[in-house]
Structure formats: structure tokens, C-alpha cells
Amino acid sequence: MKQPVLGIVATIIVMAVSFALISFFDFPTFAGWVSYSLMCLIPMQIVMGVTWGTNQPGFAAKQRQPLKGILLAVTTAIVGVIVWPASLAIAGGNVTPPTPMLMHVTITSVVVTFWGAIIFGGWPFKPAIKNEVAAGLTLLAACYVVNYLFFRIFFDYGFMQGAPVYVASLDPHGIFSALNILVFEVSFLIGLFTMANFDLWPLTTFPGVMRQPLLGIVWTVVALAIGGFAFWIGVDVLKMDVMAFLVTAPVPFIFGSIVVLNMLQNSLFGKVKQPAKGIANVVAVIVIGSALGQMYRAFGPTISGTLRPGPPTYDLEVWTASALLAVTFPLLIFYAEFFRFWPLTKTD
């Protein structure tokens, strides 16, 4: 089975597994403990897939499929088991079930790890620390620290005061309203993946830029500009509710990018040169991501029962974002990067 058929079939299989998994839980459990637990895996998954290229740890990487994929997944889970109680204690104050504060800081840990592992390519740890495993784990720890500092500086939950989910001791009283800065940070990934869809064009035309940390700095500025522009258009110009914007723009764009770049292995327009290829990729990302986002949104009530959209609880928006990015996203990466589409393909 070859691309793009391979990616299409694999994506359908993973989505079916995701829906089946979600159906085992009621909405509060799924949106709380299940989503939190799975998101604790994603930063380590990014380090293993991007920083290590699934070539570490050695005892797993040297195995054939499916054992290699199993061992890589188990390694990710072991780190997740360490992160789970640590994050619950530090960011969540050991308050159960998970508070909005804990869920938000867990979501942004994924954004910051993408930033460190992809945009900065693991710099400064990857070149400075010769041991690849140590460099990756140090990067992971640094991303969690930076993310928590961002959370303390930028997030404010004053608008939640009086709500049952508000925990005063966990409110950082930061600069921005929590939902706005949360969605802005996720929108930053629109810029990250836009550049990935363009294979970093036009930065690749400037060899001097393609070295860290300059590449990371320039890519960060570009990603902030693209993500910030999208946020401004949706929230400020079109006056969309910020959570409605989240599941309309950044979440589908991220999910569509994972399908196009990882599941289809950037094969749709492989023979097209940049920037035409990037434009075609972005159009495909928007179409695929939006279509799948609408499909998930439509299936939500069937799978998890009544889900009310909009404030104050945003049940449907939370379910859609969680189903796409907390469940299906990591399962897609596990299958495409860790298992290399086994057994649909025998290529290891």
C-alpha cells in the first residue's frame, strides 16, 4: 500500500479507534482525566519523534516492527506516568478532578514543546549535550519549566470567579484573560505548521538563516505573525467567540497538517515546487482539517450524549478539541511515526 492511499486508510483506522476509545467514557471523565492523561504523553512523544527521530532509546529503535513501536510507546507512557502526578501537584495543586488551570497548562506544554523541538530543533541542548537521550530529556524538562513560567506570567482566571471550577489558589493572575491567551498560544501553531507545509520556504533561500538559533528566532517571529493575524481576524475583526474560533481555525489547521504531513507523508504535491507546493498543502490542510473538524463536531453528541455549545461551559467545543488533539492526534503520531504504518506497510 502506497501513499496517499496508505495515509488515508491509516487515518480512517485511527479515527475509528479514537471514537471507540472516547465512547467508553462519559463527557466529564473524557474531557477531564482521559484528555489530561493523554496530553501528558504528547510532549515526550514530540521529543521521541522529532528530536530523536524514533532512533532512541536504542533498545527500542533496533527492534523490528511491531516490537519497535510497542517499546517506543511504552517509553513514552513511562515518562507520561512521571509527568502526570508532577503536573497535577505543581500546576493543579492536587485538586481533583482536573481544573481548567491544569488542563490549560497541559495544553500549552504541547505548544511549547513543539516550539523547542521543531522551531529551535532542540537548541541549545541538542548540540551542547552529546548524548542524544540526555539532550532530549533535558529539552523536555526545559520546555515544561518555560511553559509553567509562561502560564504564571500570562494567564488570568478572574473571569471565572464565582464558578464552581474556579480555584483561587491556582489562579496566576497573569496579564491576559486565560481563554484568550490559551487560544492565542494554540494559534501560534498555525504559523509553525504553515512554514512546515512550505518546507520552510522562503527561509531556505537564505542559507545564513538556516542555522540555529537564528532559524528558531526567525521562524518564531513568522509563526507569531501568522498565528496572531489569524487570531486577530477571527476574534477581533469577525467577533467570534474565542472558543468557537479555537475549534474553527487553529484546531482543524493543526489536525489537517498532521494528516497531510505525517499521515500522507507530504505526498499530495510531492512533485510540485515551492511556493506552489506550500500553497497547495495549506489549501489541502484547511479543507481536510475543516471537514474532519465538522465531522467530529457532528459525531460528538452521538458518542458522548448532549453537548451544549458556547458559554459558560463550552461542552461541544471542549469535546471537539479534546477528541481531535488530545486523543486522535497522539494516536496518529504513534501509528505513523512509531509503528511506521505497520502492518499496512512492511517498510520499517
> 101-135, pLDDT tens digit by residue?
999 999 999 999 999 999 999 999 988 999 999 99
| Extended strands (E) in the chain | 155-156, 176-177
pLDDT in tens, 128-146: 999 999 999 999 999 999 9
Nearest to 119 by CA among 275, 226, 274, 278: 226
Q: Are 49 and 334 in contact (CB under 8 A)?
A: no
Q: What is the pLDDT of residue 109?
A: 98
Across 78-101, average pLDDT: 96
pLDDT in tens, 178-215: 999 999 999 999 999 999 999 999 999 999 999 999 99
Across 293-315, average pLDDT: 93
Give CA separation, 296 vs 31, 42, 247, in Å. 15, 21, 10
AA letter at 317 = E
Nearest to 212 by CA among 84, 120, 137: 120
SS3 177: strand
Statement: residue 258 has pLDDT above 90? yes
pLDDT bin (cut points 50, 70, 90) of residue 32 is very high
202: left (phi over 0), alpha (psi -120 to 50) or beta: alpha
pLDDT in tens, 214-230: 999 999 999 999 999 99
- Measured between alpha carbons, how far apart are the two ends of the chain, in Å? 14
Statement: residue 348 has pLDDT above 90? no
Task: Report the alpha-carbon distance of residue 190 to residue 165 in Å, rounded.
Answer: 30
Q: Are 243 and 314 in contact (CB under 8 A)?
A: yes
Q: In the chain, what percentage of residues exceed pLDDT 90?
A: 95
Task: Report the alpha-carbon distance of residue 62 to residue 241 in Å, rounded.
Answer: 49
Task: Report the alpha-carbon distance of residue 270 to residue 150 in Å, rounded.
Answer: 38
Task: Report the alpha-carbon distance of residue 281 to residue 142 in Å, rounded.
Answer: 32
C-alpha cell at 67: 516490537
Nearest to 109 by CA among 218, 185, 181: 185
Average pLDDT over all residues of the chain? 96
Across 39-58, average pLDDT: 96
SS3 155: strand
Q: What is the pLDDT of residue 347?
A: 59
